């Protein structure tokens, strides 16, 4: 099911979509691994971030309290980290029921084997043995994710490595959907209308370039024509997608293929030196109590060779060092390395600058969270606003989808 072809219609598409399941309090692993990336992206992209509550339900259907408790806390965690409602659209998946409709319609053309072969399907079933995951909903997990992504015609999906197969599946699904439903009788008509709308000069130039590509295989003409389309001010994004499809002879691109934006593997070490993860019980929560953070670092294990203050140690064997690598500047790291190897100070001393940095980082987060914790209504408002924007895009997409699959009757 792998493919090397580039997402041609995502070129120039500045829309980003990503989601998170509300399965627990967010911790510093989420912050350094995902959220900081979201926050960076919201400066340059049109970002949609959503609470994937239906996805959580596929594995936690027997424990609804998990979601009730976590949805709002997670949104506060996002806001506290710096996801800015003025820049990004935040919404809840189940508040946009169109996701369910698109999931259903995509399911019509999704071969069972494609879903059965997604690695997370078998992996998770084995990992979560205590749960019955031989369900229809769980098999459909990655397809629901495809619906999430395709609904917003997103060009980029920032995800961790484990999610790449899901984005890959989404591309396959988009291609298959376009193949089955992208050849409507009105296609030519829509194309011609869009070309005309570009204006006389641009239209003529576009037709010439397209001819160069389709008749002489001129790759340069193809590239120039693509650029020309992307630069047009008079036509909207769907029209651009349409014309890109026409240009490349693909028929209409109803749903553009997204690209995974691999989050640089920011491996956040936990309190025991393993990767920070809820399942290892080694986390520091994003909005942890300062006293607990301090205590947790104070009791962190260190290089076992350092029994007494006079015993030299080796940072490479110490989980505390890994945290220094994330949080400390060069000078501090030099100080640690030298002091540890020469037994110049004890481990508690070594942990002090780290505790300081952690508390400073969290103070900013606590500060931002304060207004929302005090006034939960504001969180509801952020989401209500986001839901509205998301539904607007979703209704546009569904209009195209319903028309092309033929569930609009005159
Ligand atoms: N499956 C993702 C995860 O577990 C969450 C998710 C659901 C998602 N839908 C998405 C991520 C769409 C990106 C895009 O992390
Ligand atoms: Fe770890 Fe620092 Fe102690 Fe060395 S001095 S063992 S790096 S805590």
- Contacts (Cβ under 8 Å, ≥6 apart) of 78: 35, 38, 49, 90
Query: Does 92 or 237 have the greater pLDDT score?
Result: 92
From CA 317, how far away is CA 350, in angstroms rounded?
14
Q: What distance lies between CA 9 and its chain's CA centroid?
A: 19
Q: How far apart are the CA of 296 and the centre of ligand 2, in A?
A: 15
From CA 101, how far away is CA 122, in angstroms rounded?
26
Residue that has been written with the tokens 């997204």 in this structure: 258
Nearest alpha-carbon partner for 169 in 216, 215, 121 = 121
Q: How confident is the model at residue 265 (pLDDT cuts 50, 70, 90)?
A: low
Query: Is residue 400 pLDDT above 60, yes or no?
Result: yes
What residue ranges line ligand 1, CB within 6 angstroms?
A: 17-21, 52, 55, 145, 148-149, 157, 159, 163
Contact 19, 49 (CB under 8 A): yes
Query: Does 293 or 218 have the greater pLDDT score?
Result: 293
What strands, in cross-sheet order, belong to the sheet with 259-262?
A: 88-92, 46-51, 15-20, 156-159, 259-262
Q: Which of 215-219, 300-304, 392-396, 398-402 has the lowest mean pLDDT?
A: 215-219
Query: Does 23 or 401 have the greater pLDDT score?
Result: 401
Q: How confident is the model at residue 190 (pLDDT cuts 50, 70, 90)?
A: confident
Judged by DSSP in three states, 159 sits in strand
- Per residue in 34-70, pLDDT tens? 999 999 999 999 999 999 999 999 998 888 777 777 9
Contact 106, 177 (CB under 8 A): yes
- When pLDDT is averaged across residues 318-325 and rounded to a whole number, the result is 96
- When pLDDT is averaged across residues 215-236 and rounded to a whole number, the result is 92
Q: Does residue 241 line the site of ligand 2, with CB under 6 A?
A: no
Q: Which of 26-30, 153-157, 183-187 has the lowest mean pLDDT?
A: 183-187
Task: Report the pLDDT value the prediction gives residue 87, as an integer from 0 to 100.
Answer: 97
- When pLDDT is averaged across residues 67-94 and rounded to a whole number, the result is 95
- When pLDDT is averaged across residues 84-95 and rounded to a whole number, the result is 98
Task: Report the pLDDT value the prediction gives residue 405, as an integer from 0 to 100.
Answer: 92
- Contacts (Cβ under 8 Å, ≥6 apart) of 372: 76, 79, 80, 378, 379
Per-residue H/E/C for 319-375: HHHHHHHHHCCHHHHHHHHHHHHCCCCCHHHHHHHHHHHHHHHHHHHHHHHHHHHHC
Q: Does residue 353 line the site of ligand 2, with CB under 6 A?
A: no
Task: Report the pLDDT value the prediction gives residue 251, as an integer from 0 to 100.
Answer: 66
Q: Which of 183-192, 207-216, 295-304, 349-358 has the lowest mean pLDDT?
A: 183-192
- When pLDDT is averaged across residues 242-251 and rounded to a whole number, the result is 80
Query: Is residue 352 pLDDT above 70, yes or no?
Result: yes
- Per residue in 122-172, pLDDT tens? 888 888 888 888 899 999 999 999 999 999 999 999 988 889 999 999 999
Task: Give, in order, the Cα–Cα distances in Å from 335 to each of 2, 313, 341.
Answer: 48, 13, 10
Task: Report the pLDDT value the prediction gives residue 9, as an integer from 0 to 100.
Answer: 42
Task: Report the pLDDT value the prediction gives residue 2, as an integer from 0 to 100.
Answer: 32
Contact 350, 323 (CB under 8 A): no
- When pLDDT is averaged across residues 304-333 and rounded to a whole number, the result is 95
Query: Is residue 267 pLDDT above 90, yes or no?
Result: no
From CA 102, how far away is CA 243, in angstroms rounded?
23
Average pLDDT, the chain: 91
Query: Is residue 315 pLDDT above 70, yes or no?
Result: yes
Q: How far apart are the CA of 19 and the centre of ligand 1, in A?
A: 5
Share above pLDDT 70 across residues of the chain, in percent, rounded to a whole number: 94
Best probe residue, ligand 1, of 159, 162, 257 (max atoms within 8 Å of C-beta)? 159
- Ligand nearest, relative to CA of residue 347: 2
Task: Report the pLDDT value the prediction gives residue 183, as an integer from 0 to 100.
Answer: 66
Residue that has been written with the tokens 């952690």 in this structure: 358
Domains and CATH numbers, the chain: 15-182+257-266+375-405 (3.40.50.620), 187-247 (no CATH), 287-369 (1.10.240.10)
Task: Report the pLDDT value the prediction gives residue 372, as an integer from 0 to 100.
Answer: 96
Judged by DSSP in three states, 252 sits in coil
Q: Does residue 39 line the site of ligand 2, with CB under 6 A?
A: no
Query: Is residue 4 pLDDT above 50, yes or no?
Result: no
- When pLDDT is averaged across residues 374-390 and rounded to a whole number, the result is 97
Judged by DSSP in three states, 158 sits in strand
Task: Report the pLDDT value the prediction gives residue 291, as an integer from 0 to 100.
Answer: 98
Residue that has been written with the tokens 């027997």 in this structure: 62
Stated length of the chain: 410
Q: How confident is the model at residue 1 (pLDDT cuts 50, 70, 90)?
A: very low
Q: How far apart are the CA of 299 and the centre of ligand 2, in A?
A: 12
Task: Report the pLDDT value the prediction gives residue 314, as an integer from 0 to 100.
Answer: 97
Q: How far apart are the CA of 310 and the centre of ligand 2, in A?
A: 12
Strand pairing class (88-92; 259-262): unpaired
Task: Report the pLDDT value the prediction gives residue 12, as an integer from 0 to 100.
Answer: 65
Nearest alpha-carbon partner for 145 in 172, 127, 126 = 172
Residue that has been written with the tokens 């992996």 in this structure: 123
Task: Report the pLDDT value the prediction gives residue 69, as an integer from 0 to 100.
Answer: 75
């Amino acid at each position: 099911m792998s493919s090397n072809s580039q997402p041609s219609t995502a070129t120039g598409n500045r829309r980003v979509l990503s989601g998170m399941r509300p399965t627990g309090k967010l911790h510093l692993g989420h912050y350094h691994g995902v959220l900081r990336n979201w926050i960076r992206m919201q400066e340059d992209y049109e970002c949609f971030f959503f609470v994937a509550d239906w996805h959580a339900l596929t594995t936690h259907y027997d424990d609804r309290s998990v979601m009730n408790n976590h949805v709002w806390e997670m949104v506060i965690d996002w806001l506290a980290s710096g996801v800015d409602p003025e820049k990004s659209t935040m919404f809840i998946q189940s508040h946009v029921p169109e996701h369910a409709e698109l999931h259903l319609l995509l399911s019509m053309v999704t071969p069972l084997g494609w879903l059965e072969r997604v690695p997370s399907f078998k992996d998770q079933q084995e990992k979560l043995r205590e749960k019955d995951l031989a369900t229809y909903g769980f098999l459909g997990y990655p397809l629901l994710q495809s619906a999430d992504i395709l609904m917003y015609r997103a060009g980029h999906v920032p995800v961790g490595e484990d999610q790449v197969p899901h984005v890959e599946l989404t591309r396959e699904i988009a291609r298959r959907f376009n193949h089955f439903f992208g050849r409507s009788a009105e296609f030519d008509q829509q194309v011609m209308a869009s070309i005309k709308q570009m204006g006389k000069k641009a239209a003529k130039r576009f037709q010439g370039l397209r001819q160069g590509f389709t008749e002489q295989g001129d790759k340069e003409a193809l590239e120039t024509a693509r650029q020309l389309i992307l630069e047009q001010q008079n036509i909207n994004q769907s029209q651009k997608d349409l014309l890109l499809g026409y240009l490349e002879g693909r028929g209409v691109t109803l749903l553009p293929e997204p690209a995974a934006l691999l989050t640089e593997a920011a491996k956040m070490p936990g309190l025991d030196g393993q990767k920070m993860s809820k399942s290892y019980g080694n986390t520091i929560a994003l909005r942890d109590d300062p006293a607990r953070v301090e205590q947790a670092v104070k009791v962190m294990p260190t290089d076992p060779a350092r029994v007494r203050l006079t015993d030299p140690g080796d940072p490479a064997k110490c989980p505390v060092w890994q945290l220094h690598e994330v949080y400390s500047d060069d000078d501090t790291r030099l100080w640690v390395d030298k002091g540890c190897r020469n037994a110049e100070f004890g481990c508690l001393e070594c942990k002090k600058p780290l505790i300081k940095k952690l508390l400073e980082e969290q103070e900013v987060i606590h500060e931002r969270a304060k207004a929302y914790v005090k006034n939960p209504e504001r969180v509801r408002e952020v989401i209500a606003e986001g839901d509205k924007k998301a539904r607007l895009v979703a209704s546009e997409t569904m209009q195209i989808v319903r028309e092309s699959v033929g569930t609009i009757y005159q």
